[in-house]
Amino acid sequence: MAKTTTDRLVYSIPEAAHALHCSKSLVYDLVKADKLPHVHLSEKRVVIPVEALERYLQQQAKGGGERDTEELDSKDKYAKQK
């Protein structure tokens, strides 16, 4: 795996959403559905390891779990319409 361009170990949910160019609610949905690797640092604090996010993106690019992401993405679009 190529070295990451950042020295960070983790992203917060808003930072992961920014990196993915998607909404925070989509990232929360992916975490809740256990589709996106994450770590609970406390009861309220959830972070996404940078390397786990990169692996997830590579898996999605290869077609793994595509349907699940599309389903969650359609929910995200619906939420934006409200």
pLDDT in tens, 45-62: 999 999 999 999 999 999
The answer to whether 11 and 19 have CB atoms below 8 angstroms apart is yes
Q: What pTM, to 2 d.p., does this model score?
A: 0.69
Rounded distance between C-alpha atoms, residue 78 and residue 16, angstroms = 20
Higher pLDDT, 4 or 38: 38
pLDDT of residue 74: 56
Which residue is it, tokens 């898996």?
A: 59
Q: In the chain, where are the structural domains located?
A: 10-81
Mean pLDDT, the chain, whole residue set: 82
H or E segment to which residue 30 belongs: helix 24-32
How far is C-alpha 26 from the geometric centre of its chain's CA atoms? 8
pLDDT tier at 2 (50, 70, 90 boundaries)? low
Higher pLDDT, 2 or 13: 13
Torsion, Cα of 70, 19, 61, 81 (10° steps): 20
